[in-house]
Structure 1
Amino acid sequence: MAEEDSLDMGDMFQDPEGFYEPEPEPTFAEHHMLNGQTVRVRLVGSHPLYGNLLWNAGRTSSHYIEERASTLIEGKDVLEIGAAAGVPSIVTAILGARTVVMTDYPDPDLVENMRYNAALAAPQIANSSSLYVDGYKWGAPVEPLFARLPEGATGFDVLIMADVVYSHREHPNLIKTMRETLKRSKDSVALVIFTPYEPWLLPKTEKFFPLAEENGFRVTKIFEKLMDNVLFENDPGVSVMRRLVDFANSSRMSA
C-alpha cells in the first residue's frame, strides 16, 4: 500500500475523557492513644489489600500495647507484618521501642503510604526509637528485616500481627515468618489479633492457631472485645487477641 493510501487511525484506540471513574483520593484517619496523643495517618484511596481502611484490630492492638508498654515494648525490637497504615508500629515507636520495622506487601502504593505515615509521625517518635519501613511478602527471606536490627540482635522481641490470619492460604507463610524472625527467648511473643469480619469464615481463620501449636508455639487467648463500631456489613464487631510464644525455641534456649 502506498504511503499516501495508508489509513489515519487517529485516536481510535484512546479511551474518551471520563471513560473511567477517577481513582478515589487518599483520606486521613486518627487513632487516639490512651495517653492523650493522636496519631494521624493517611490511607490510600483504594486498594485490593484494603490499605484504604484503618482496621479495628490495629486500633485494639495499639491500645493493648500502650497499656503494657513498660514491660512489652520499651527498649525492645518490634516487627509488624501486614501493617497497612501502620498505627501499631507508630504507637510502638512513640512508646520507646528500640527498633520498629513496619512492613506490608511490597506494593509500591502501600509501601510509599507507610513511609508517608512514618514521616508524618516523626515528631512524636521517641529519640531512642528507630522506625523503618519495608515491603515484605510473608514467607520470603528475612535477611532484609534482620538488616534493620541493631548490631548483636538475634531476632525480634515482639511481632505484631493485626488482622492477617484472615488470609487462610497464607497461614503456613505467616508461621514460617514467625519462626524465622522471633528471637529465641522465653520472653519473645507474637501478638495476633483479628476481627471476624466474615463470621462464617471464622472456623477457617482459627485453624491458624492449632497449626502454630504444631510448629512449636504455645498459644494463649488473651481477650475478646466487642467493638463500638463495625467495619463491614455483617461484621459482628468482636476482636480477639492471642499471644503466641515460640515454646519450641524457648525450650531449646533453656536446654
Structure 2
Amino acid sequence: MALAARISPAGPETSDPEDLFASSLGVIFPDDVTNMHGDPDHALLYKSPHLPRPIKLALADVKTEEERFLFSHHLWNASLLLAEFIEAGTLGLEIPWTRGIAAPLGSFDVSALRTIELGAGTALPSIMAGLLGAKGVVVTDYPSPPVLKTLRENVTASVKEASAPSGRFAAEEVLVEGHGWGELDTPLAEGNRHAFDRVIAADCLWMPWQHDNLRRSISWFLADAESARAWVVAGFHTGRQKVSAFFETAALAELGLEVEHMWERDCDGKDREWVTDRDSEDISERKRWLVVGVLRRIRKPAQEGEQRP
C-alpha cells in the first residue's frame, strides 16, 4: 500500500488555482510523489483499519515568514512512515519488511513507554503512540502560537480512549509544549532530562545549522538506559548531504549517541541499504525515499566476566 493511501482531505472543496494545480500534479506527472500534504483550509483525515475512528489533523494557519519557513503547517511523509511503524510494531501487524536491512519491526512497540516528539508539526506519530498504549506522550514544536494551538487541538481531539483500539489506551500523561531545539534551561527540559524511552523526530533534518541543537535535545530527553531509542526519519527532498550530515558518527558520539540501525524505505514499502550518495538519483526519485535512523546510547564495553542482559 502506498504511504499516503490512508490520508484524504477533510473540509470544503477548494477553488484556489494553486491548490487545484497542486492536486493535479499526480495526473500531470504520474511518477512524481507528493511528500507534504494539507493546508490550513483543508484538514486531513488519517484512516487506519486498526483504529475505531479516523484521526483528524488540522494544519497550522501560520502568518509570519519565520513561521512559514518552519514548514510545520504540513503533514510530511516521514510522519506517515513513523505512524505506520508504530502501529505495526505495537499491534504485531505484518507489513513489508526486509530483515537484515531494517531494524526489527517489534522494536517500534510503544506499549507502556514514555515518548516525546520534537518538531512535531501535526503530531501524527505521537497521536498513534498515545492511542496504542504509550504511558506518557509529550509533543513539542517550535514555540509558535499558531503551531502549538493546532497541535493541542489535534492531540486533544484524538488522544482519548474512545478513539483507541479496545483495551489499548494507557496514557497517563499527554502534553503539548513549545521547545526550541538545544534550549535546555526551560522548565520542560529541566524537568524531563533522560525521561523518555523513545524520542521521535520526523523530517527535522533539512536545516543543517540546527543539527547540533537537535542532537543535543535528543540526547537530553532520551533515557539513560540500554533499551532507550530515538527514531529519526527524514525525506531526501532537500538532498542527501543535509540528511547524512546529521548522522555523522563523531558528532553523535560527543553526545553519547550512536546509530544502531539505518536504512532507506520508499513510499511503497521497499527497503534498501543506506548510502550517502546515489549519483543517478534525480529529484523525483529522491522524493520517493526516506531514511530511517535508530539511535541509542553508546554501549559501554562489558567488563571481563560481565554478561549483558
Instruction: Give the TM-score of the pair, scaled to structure 1.
Output: 0.77
Measure how far apart 1:216 and its partner are: 2.7
Q: 1:94 to 1:197 in 2, by over 3 A?
A: same
Is the CA contact 2:121–2:147 (under 8 Å) kept in the aligned structure 1? yes
Does 2:42 align with 1:27? yes
Alpha-carbon distance in structure 1 between the residues aligned to 2:216 and 2:153: 29
Q: Choose which of 171, 180, 186 in structure 2 pairs with 1:137.
A: 180
Q: Choose which of 209, 222, 244 in structure 2 pairs with 1:206.
A: 244
- Alpha-carbon displacement from aligned partner over 1:174-208 (angstroms, at most 9, x marks no partner): 11112211111000000000001123xx1132111
Does 2:119 align with 1:82? yes
Gaps of at least 5 residues in structure 2 are 1-38, 63-67, 92-106, 269-282, 303-307
Greater C-alpha Rg:
1
Measure how far apart 1:128 and its partner are: 3.5
Q: Choose which of 175, 183, 201 in structure 2 pairs with 1:161.
A: 201
Measure how far apart 1:127 and its partner are: 4.6
Alpha-carbon distance in structure 2 between the residues aligned to 1:250 and 1:122: 40
Is the CA contact 2:118–2:199 (under 8 Å) kept in the aligned structure 1? yes
Q: 1:212 to 1:197 in 2, by over 3 A?
A: same
Measure how far apart 1:167 and its partner are: 1.3
Task: Report how many aligned residue pairs link the two structures.
Answer: 221
Alpha-carbon distance in structure 2 between the residues aligned to 1:26 and 1:51: 15
Is the CA contact 1:213–1:219 (under 8 Å) kept in the aligned structure 2? no
User: What fraction of aligned residue pairs are identical, expressed as a percent?
Assistant: 24
Q: 1:145 to 1:249 in 2, by over 3 A?
A: farther
Q: 1:250 to 1:78 in 2, by over 3 A?
A: farther
Secondary structure in 2 aligned to 1:68?
A: helix
Instruction: Give the TM-score of the pair, scaled to structure 2.
Output: 0.64
Alpha-carbon distance in structure 2 between the residues aligned to 1:249 and 1:87: 34
Aligned to 2:90: 69
Could you list the structure 1 runs, at least 4 aligned residues long, displaced by more than 4 angstroms after superposition: 146-149, 248-251
Is the CA contact 1:146–1:155 (under 8 Å) kept in the aligned structure 2? no
Q: 1:247 to 1:25 in 2, by over 3 A?
A: closer
Alignment of 1:93-104 (within 5 A): 93-104=130-141
The one-letter code of the counterpart of 1:48 is F
The one-letter code of the counterpart of 2:117 is E
- Alpha-carbon displacement from aligned partner over 1:130-172 (angstroms, at most 9, x marks no partner): 21100100001265335776xxx95110000111112111111
Aligned to 2:288: 237
